[in-house]
């Protein structure tokens, strides 16, 4: 919960200085979060860290447990958004129970993007249910684990508006 709150706060602060960040690419935005998270969780944060099938954008590991597995994307097509969910889920191990999907929008009509993201997530074949709304643009969902459909995980979606 504290990591979710911290990531949400970082994104909201980026929205406030968007003239400086709106031209950053996906990797630069991720690196901004990496630096801030590494300041708060010293020594536990990795960027582009290998986990199961590939690299995850940010991984916070403590005593051999993954506390935070996250994928970062810039809002593009609906297909690109859904592929990001698949990428994240495919990198989750059986022991991982929580992950986050951080998406930056550089498009106008942010309310429509939030609505569409919720819709796309609910249509995902591994989606089980919507759990709760943490903020206007932070939502939590339950998903099936790709390696064991009897095991579930929590996916927190963070959407940030950089327009």
pLDDT of residue 57: 87
Average pLDDT, the chain: 91
Which of the pair, 93 or 157, is modelled with greater confidence? 157
- What is the helix (H) or strand (E) element at residue 73, kind and residue range? strand 65-74
User: Do the bridges between strand 148-161 and strand 45-51 make them parallel or antiparallel, or are there none, so unpaired?
Assistant: unpaired
Q: How many residues are listed for the chain in this entry?
A: 163
Q: pTM of the prediction?
A: 0.92
pLDDT of residue 98: 94
Over the range 10-24, which residues count as b (16 or more CB within 10 Å of their CB) and which as e?
bbbebbeebeebeeb
pLDDT of residue 19: 77
pLDDT of residue 87: 94
CA dihedral 56, 61, 64, 69 (to 10 degrees): -40
- Is the pLDDT at 103 greater than 90? The verdict is yes
Tens of pLDDT, residue by residue over 114-158, are 999 999 999 999 999 999 999 999 999 999 998 888 999 999 999
As a whole number, mean pLDDT of residues 87-106 equals 94
As a whole number, mean pLDDT of residues 95-118 equals 95
127 beta partners: 143
At 115 the three-state DSSP class reads: helix
Which of the pair, 107 or 54, is modelled with greater confidence? 107
- Is the pLDDT at 50 greater than 90? The verdict is no
pLDDT of residue 129: 98
Tens of pLDDT, residue by residue over 13-39, are 889 986 788 889 999 999 999 999 998
As a whole number, mean pLDDT of residues 49-76 equals 88
């Amino acid at each position: 919960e504290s990591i979710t709150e911290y990531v949400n706060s970082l994104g909201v602060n980026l929205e406030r200085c968007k003239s400086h960040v709106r031209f950053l690419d996906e990797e630069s935005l991720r690196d901004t979060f990496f630096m801030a998270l590494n300041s708060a969780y010293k020594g536990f944060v990795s960027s582009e860290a290998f986990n199961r099938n590939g690299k995850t954008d940010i991984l916070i590991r403590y005593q051999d447990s993954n506390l935070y597995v996250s994928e970062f994307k810039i809002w593009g097509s609906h297909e690109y958004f859904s592929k990001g969910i698949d990428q994240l889920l495919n990198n989750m191990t059986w022991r991982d129970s929580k992950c986050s999907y951080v998406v930056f929008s550089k498009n106008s009509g942010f309310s429509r993007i939030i609505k569409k993201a919720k819709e796309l997530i609910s249509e995902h074949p591994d989606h089980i249910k919507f759990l709760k709304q943490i903020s206007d643009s932070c939502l939590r969902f339950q998903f099936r684990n790709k390696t064991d459909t009897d095991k579930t995980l929590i996916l927190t979606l963070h959407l940030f508006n950089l327009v």
